Structure 1
């Protein structure tokens, strides 16, 4: 057994000074991890252009890896390097991973391919995957070491200070999470780039990389002050070896006569002492209850993937713009508020009502609330789906009519499909036709008629813009080239020239070029939906007007009609309606999920620790983290195997699965008998003392006999 190498014990406010370096290190590391993780899903879909399901799969693969590697970190720390060197070396790997991910998100990685060509994307993907693997190894590897290393800094008589340290440690985790969830999406939403402008992922990942480097530097600065426990062997390996020996020994005795054993683990008694076997029995009872738990994490961790993607189709205007990935901040905010409220108000109230709200009952209710959170998410998704535009299917095309003239018009679709009246400066919605049955359309306006033959492409949208003047009817059939609603929450705008002049038009810092009469520009992305912009047009004099505020996830056509006293006259037409469901509707599902987390996660850890021997806490910690990893793997399996097309139906599926698992867990919990490990260990200590006393007595008696 190794002893402790003690650093210089410097006190600050009654605490070892070294723990402040550890708390600052944890704040920076959590900022780094959550900041990177918050924008990860949108990075996959918007920058790497991965489809939603594939992006979700990679996201949950990464999270699963982050919760598998702690087992490796614990074994390395306890059996080989010790906590200090494990944290140091894996933090270096962690920082390198963050830097690689940041570099991998640069759009201009080559001299020539800065337009999203396959060569550039391949380099981006390769660097991103390497970066994520290194980050998973780093963050997971140090996870079981940092808090325990902080606890090592205290003397045995500093129990109160140690308890305060863990509160500070938890606060630093939430502070880092809160701040990074607020900051990194804001950075991500800004634009940067050398050759081409893009959402600023290099900086959104770069800031967490810098914070991780700061965490490493801070940790190293405190090096000489730390108490560093030498490796003392890994209890997880010892448990695994004992269980393995029991199973092996049992199978070796199959078909043979043998003394009956009360428990299958008793087959290890030939090699391992009774105390260890009894301790492992206690742990296995808790680990058995862990079997249904991954389903909760399969639901919980989707707030960073599916729920973020859901928010991209919603309106984030709270008086100021909230980014889709910033909605994840609701969870840490509610956690900080609810943990003390539940502990100091809700639980005491339940106790006063004389209800036996045991830890396992709390966890069961937590699982139920997690299921309800996904029911709420499904209801929100149904409302979002209702607001989605309908696009033409195979064999169909859609046409929208815009009357840019001052005289009403009637448009007849031939052969005799339908007739539509269009008022001056008005538009129709998109009308769907079978392309094989629509041959032409006829415009009757004033005393004039005009027929336009049609040869439409299936699954395409068109805008037919026309105007009457005393001499003729002018028109333009425009291919809209939009086959889906803008997925990133941004909006599109284009201009159509309704004047008799050639016009140059700009809006903000966007230039749309020269437009001939009745010609239309291409769609351009509005960088900041929710804003109004100044539109400048030469007609031939420069005329100016402010646009209306643009919605989120919309597409607009703006008609340049006239110029009166240098004021530009325009008309807004809505090609795709903006997101109408507000992001605030996600708050109920976040609230339910946070309530579930407080009841399930916090209670689960406390229950596990209370039911396990003191030297087996790390085994349960590893088991708990493993349930998180398996939960994320479940998301991969369900999302990959299910043929569900509608997102609301997938939410209902996860809600139903968790509800079923909740019932199973409740049944399992009803058979569980709570124990006090301290009493059991005290009983073993008493028996060992009695055995030692009896053994010593026998030795003295034998020695007396030998003298005689």
Structure 2
């Protein structure tokens, strides 16, 4: 009766267009906007940490992967709430509101001018920005993780029993929406980030890069609410994960309680739960545990895979993204992944796998996953080779316990100095001696920074960054105004877009324009002489010279590994899971991703390897070692048919029921006979009387 009423309610709500429920179109648009919001925010996140908060690479990487790990831990919470309490529809609504608030908090945290009271373009209250962004990230993790297991299942619920074909098409389109949202967002949000914005400053516009994903999340929520009247909303039916945990807990407790007593041994430790739980449930849990045991080595793959958004993006910031007519931002390189996924999935399914099968090779799912892990390790070897090429061109930056100093002579006569170029000092103060005439000064250094000391023509003046003139000079470009430069003083560094820029210098007496071409990664110091026509500049950092195209091979190998590992792993888990526990294995699969990201932040904070390429090699070696462990485990794994095992238990239960019925029937017959005999004896007794 309950199933009949459910079908009737579904028929009432399922208005169809071309055989598809209208409600699924709202769900598809909702998923596209939500994925755009999530991946768009994540694409620029690590650069936000390093450029806005000025965190070092290790701290930025750790916080990034802590956030990703939390995103893959919260699906368990979302599934439990939906199945046991609120239902899928309400869970999606409430957590999407939390999600949208988190995205808005991220956009607000990136606004420079909120706490920039002195107008220098630098936030004065950085604690406010950090706290706001951390709150935003936690809310986003709760939202995106909580709705992850609900949206696809809610979409599947909209189809009737006669719409199996349409349901399969829906899941294919759903998967395309995920990759389509990811692709577009990783193209668009880096472009928004590269814009200049701010009332008082012209900085990279992270507020816009986070604001657009926030707007898309609000749109996603509104679209989902608009379709409310068309949805089939199933009531919470109870969470199988809770039953599984209770059964496992009872088995462990029962085994521990009887450890010292003479009880018959069990074939499997889960058999200790048969005193309270159904044997079919115990058999299903055994099947799940076999697959979960195979999951143990899998987090190492995700440890490497999710570094696309952290270490690889930071690596891209030291490379040249100029492809002539096309300028590629460092965080835009992540678009290579979804592009290759959409290309490689059909190639693998329709060309590579059938070709391997025709060659007579048994390319089982577990073998595919092993090859996928090996592909990911090759990707990190490629990343290490690229890093070695980058290191040949990068300057030698000081550590946090060192300072670097460069002295430049601005006078007309040669002077003898102790240091002529950048040198590294491990003390906060040094003595600098200059001859002709002999002058000695005590110079203070800032640890962890490079500094340039200008020697004026008159050695009695203070040594500092100077403009070389005795009058005030104005400097500006069409996009950046440096302001007034006082005599014998300097300006702060300003961000300049890649390309050619024209500078205008003027004071009360003269005016001059000059043009300079800037490239990614470069930094320049310009010195203004009394004659504006004579320009002197020093290259603080050489432009990036290693092409960003060198990252394409590592993206190819990591994506090929993802297709063979992730897509195959999901299919394998689904095929090996009992009919009512596929969600349990899905939660276990997501948990491997969370653990993988936790491993990254542990390595980033603990290992502290001096060279980045050595860290890439370390991860590659760890994954290769895991490949051997996983292949050994896979060799002894026996593929099963869960449906067949479940059918056997159900048949056995049916047979037991038949036996029980027969026994009851025989007992009833015996009872009737006894009653008949007793009645006959009673009649005979009465006759005798």
Q: What's the TM-score, normalizing by structure 1?
A: 0.86
Note the aligned Cα RMSD (angstroms).
Answer: 3.1
How many Å apart are 1:512 and its aligned residue? 4.4
- Are 1:289 and 2:294 counterparts? yes
Q: Distance in 2 between matches of 1:93 and 1:150?
A: 21
The 8 Å contact of residues 2 and 231 in structure 1, kept in 2 or not, is answered as no
Aligned to 2:175: 170
Relative to 1, partners in 2 of residues 1:559 and 1:638: Cα closer, same or farther, differing over 3 Å? closer
Counterparts of 1:447-596 in structure 2, within 5 Å, are: 455-457=442-444, 461-462=451-452, 479=464, 504-512=474-482, 521-537=490-506, 540-547=509-516, 549-558=517-526, 568=533, 570=535, 572-596=537-561
Structure 2 residue aligned with 1:310: 315
- Decide whether aligned partners of structure 1 residues 132 and 197 sit closer, same or farther in structure 2, where only a CA change above 3 A counts: same
Counterpart of 1:702? 667
Q: Which moved more, 1:226-235 or 1:376-385?
A: 376-385
Judge conservation of contact 2:302–2:592 (CA < 8 Å) in 1: yes
The structure 1 residue matched to 2:433, chosen from 439, 456, 461, is 439
Moved more, 602-611 or 101-110: 101-110
* SS state at 1:160 partner: helix
CA distance in 2, matches of 1:165, 1:620: 22
Match of 2:356 in 1: 350
Report the Cα distance in structure 1 between the residues aligned to 2:193 and 2:443, rounded to whole angstroms: 40
In structure 1, which of residues 670, 686, 698 is the aligned counterpart of residue 635 of structure 2?
A: 670
Among 100, 104, 112, the residue aligned to 2:105: 100
Provide the secondary structure at the position in 1 that maps to 2:581.
Answer: helix
Decide which structure has greater strand share.
Answer: 1
State how far apart, in whole Å, the 2-side matches of 1:252 and 1:295 are. Answer: 36
C-alpha separation in 2, matches of 1:559 and 1:50: 30
Deviation, structure 1 residue 437: 8.4
Q: Which residue of 1 aligns with 2:241?
A: 236
1:195 and 2:200 are equivalent in the alignment: yes
Instruction: Say whether 1:213 aligns with 2:223.
Output: no
Q: Contact 2:430 / 2:444 at 8 angstroms: preserved in 1?
A: no
- d(CA) in 2 for partners of 1:211, 1:504: 42
8 Å Cα contact 2:203/2:495 also seen in 1: no
The residue that corresponds to 1:143 in the other structure is 148
1:554, distance to aligned residue in structure 2 (A): 1.6
**Cα contact 1:465–1:475 (8 A) shared by 2:** no
Q: What displacement does 1:169 show?
A: 0.2
Aligned residue for 1:596, secondary structure, equals: helix
Distance between the aligned counterparts of 1:181 and 1:22, measured in 2?
22
What's the offset of the Cα at 1:694? 2.7
- Whether the 8 Å CA contact 1:48–1:121 is kept in 2: the answer is yes
| Rounded Cα–Cα distance in structure 2 between residues aligned with 1:253 and 1:395 | 63
Q: Is the 8 A contact 2:121 2:200 kept in 1?
A: no
Partner of 2:602: 637
- What are the Cα deviations for residues 396-415 of structure 1, in whole angstroms up to 9, with x where unaligned? 8644557897xxx876556x
Which has the higher mean CA deviation after the structures are superposed, 298-307 or 454-463? 454-463
Q: Equivalent residue of 1:543, what SS?
A: strand
* Alpha-carbon distance in 2 for matches of 1:309, 1:25: 31
- Is the 1:378–1:649 Cα contact (8 Å) retained in structure 2? yes
Structure 1 646/247 Cα, relative in aligned 2: closer, same or farther at 3 Å?
A: same
Q: Deviations over 1:413-466 (max 9, x none)?
A: 56xx9xxxxxxxxxx865779997863256xxxxxxx77656555576446578
Give 3-state SS (helix, strand or coil) of 1:271's partner. coil
Q: Give the distance between the partners of 1:213 and 1:569, measured in 2 at CA.
A: 55
Residue 488 (structure 1) aligns with: none
C-alpha change, 1:41 and 1:391, in structure 2 (3 Å) is closer
Q: 1:160 aligns with which of 159, 165, 169?
A: 165
Classify 1:511/1:347 alpha carbon distance in 2 versus 1 (closer, same or farther; 3 Å): same
Q: Is the Cα–Cα contact under 8 Å of residues 69 and 595 in structure 2 kept in the other structure? A: yes
- 2:378 aligned residue (368, 372, 375): 372
In structure 1, how many angstroms separate the alpha carbons of the residues matched to 2:107 and 2:201?
17
Distance verdict in 2 for CA 1:108–1:464, change over 3 Å: closer
Pair 1:139–1:476, CA change in 2 (3 A): same
Distance in structure 2 (CA, Å) of the matches to 1:546 and 1:270: 85
Task: Report how many aligned residue pairs link the two structures.
Answer: 661
Equivalents in 2 of 1:541, 1:462: separation in Å?
28
User: What are the residue-to-residue correspondences of 1:684-703 with 2, within 5 Å?
Assistant: 684-703=649-668
1:362 aligned to which of 341, 362, 368: 368
Distance 1:453 1:259, change over 3 A: closer
The alpha-carbon deviation at position 391 of structure 1 amounts to 5.1
Q: Secondary structure at the match of 2:152?
A: helix
1:314-329 to structure 2, matched below 5 A, reads 314-319=319-324, 320-329=326-335
| Structure 2: 5+ residue stretches without partners | 674-689
Which stretch of the first structure deviates more once superposed, 134-143 or 186-195? 186-195
**What is the alpha-carbon distance in structure 2 between the residues aligned to residue 588 and residue 124 of structure 1?**
37
How far the C-alpha of 1:72 sits from its partner, in A, is: 0.8
The C-alpha deviation readout for 1:281-308, integer Å capped at 9, x for no partner, is 1110000001111111111111111221
